[in-house]
Homo-oligomer: A and B are copies of this chain.
């Protein structure tokens, strides 16, 4: 097979065969197909899309590019959750131990800060000593022993995605539904799960702007999951303001501690309980959504979720002292309050821009090689719909890089719109999708 002929075929809107997809993905991983040929194919896929069959074949080629987790020795049902990412989205950190506290196994392979969004792994690493990288063997062992682990993608699991994702990032081919589906579902299918709950976000703080496109992505992920015999539920959720009040690595961990006591912000709790209930139903632990929610809330209140969280932190070499006494955690060197320039109501938060302010402060990455600042971030005082007086704090910024403050304040002022009328905050959970 000739790579340029396969590119041409896709370019002209024809369907690729199983052999062609395998040849291209495998050849790329083996270094036989060049970066410039893969990027041309990716751009052709961006424009032409993929059929359901091609999508399954591409995901399959991703999965087959590396090892897969065999969790069959663990008798419990394994359920995972994936979010397409947003600003202040710390749900996984609370959800994984919460669900695992009911004896469900949650084998979570998670990601790092990307663009204007934070990363679950970066947040967890703000806990001193916390390790997110380890072998498949170690991951499995932790799952056998405590039922929950949040690790980074290892070189062993779907290396095709690692290599192709890095290429997509620099060739403007990230925002393609089939490529997103293969990347997400490839990772999840390699985890050896039985069921999966997806949080597909749309809006001005998500990677996907339109709810319809988020639905399209969700439906395709469900299709691929079902093809593999996995139960998949997707929630289409709004990302039109940060989730909760804290944005930044340690700041979000701190907010997670509140949520783990059922004392967190309402929006986080709403989404958390919905996702948790769905996972418990998929795992056969709850009869229905209502029961799942009640069980979950109970597990937050009685400390069983927090206990599981501490257990996970200890297993992953993290120090728990700061989790038990969060006020002992060292603060950022510089703090500054951003005040409201006028009285009125918070009408809108341009969330991508708000997220970029946190990146500037050090909470995220401009390039994949950048390191993140555990302490940097933003604490909101107000959310959409809240009244605000002139001079009242809208948020507080935290950073160790003084020179970033001006640009961050500027971005925040340009992202928070204060108007005269009280608008309701955008509905958080728009839709639940199932095959």
Contact = CB atoms under 8 A, between A and B. Distances in A.
Interface of A: 3-5, 7-8, 11, 34-40, 42-44, 46-47, 167, 169-173
B3 A40 contact: no
A35 B171 CA distance: 10
Contacts of A46: 11
Nearest to A38: B36
Contacts of A34: 35-36, 170
A44 B4 contact: no
Contact of A167 (B36, B43, B47): B36
Contacts of A4: 169-172
A232 B7 CA distance: 34
A27 to B, nearest CB: 13
A8 B171 CA distance: 8
Contacts of A5: 172
Chain A interface secondary structure, helix, strand, loop or mixed? helix
A177 to B, nearest CB: 14
Contacts of A39: 36-37, 39-40, 43
Contact of A11 (B37, B170, B172): B172
A34 to B, nearest CB: 7
22 contacts: A4-B170, A4-B172, A5-B172, A7-B172, A35-B35, A36-B36, A36-B38, A36-B167, A36-B170, A36-B171, A37-B39, A37-B171, A39-B39, A39-B43, A40-B40, A40-B42, A40-B43, A40-B171, A40-B173, A43-B43, A43-B44, A44-B172
Nearest to A2: B170
What are the 9 closest A-B residue pairs judged by CB atoms, nearest first?
Answer: A43-B43, A8-B172, A40-B171, A35-B36, A7-B172, A36-B39, A39-B40, A36-B36, A47-B47
Nearest to A46: B11
A277 to B, nearest CB: 39
Tell me which of A11, A37, A171 has the highest count of chain B C-beta atoms within 10 A of its own C-beta: A171
Contact of A37 (B3, B8, B44, B170): B170
Contacts of A44: 43, 172
B171 A7 contact: yes
A255 B421 CA distance: 85
Nearest to A44: B43
Contacts of A40: 39-40, 42-43, 171-173
Given A4-B172, A34-B170, 19 more contacts: A3-B170, A4-B169, A4-B171, A7-B171, A7-B172, A11-B172, A36-B36, A36-B167, A36-B170, A37-B170, A37-B171, A39-B39, A39-B40, A40-B171, A40-B172, A43-B43, A43-B44, A43-B47, A44-B172
Nearest to A10: B172
A256 to B, nearest CB: 33
A143 to B, nearest CB: 37
A42 B3 CA distance: 16
Nearest to A42: B40
A40 B42 CA distance: 8
B169 A11 contact: no
Contacts of A8: 172
Contacts of A47: 43, 47
Nearest to A43: B43
Contacts of A167: 36
Tell me which of A34, A36, A47 has the highest count of chain B C-beta atoms within 10 A of its own C-beta: A36
A375 to B, nearest CB: 28
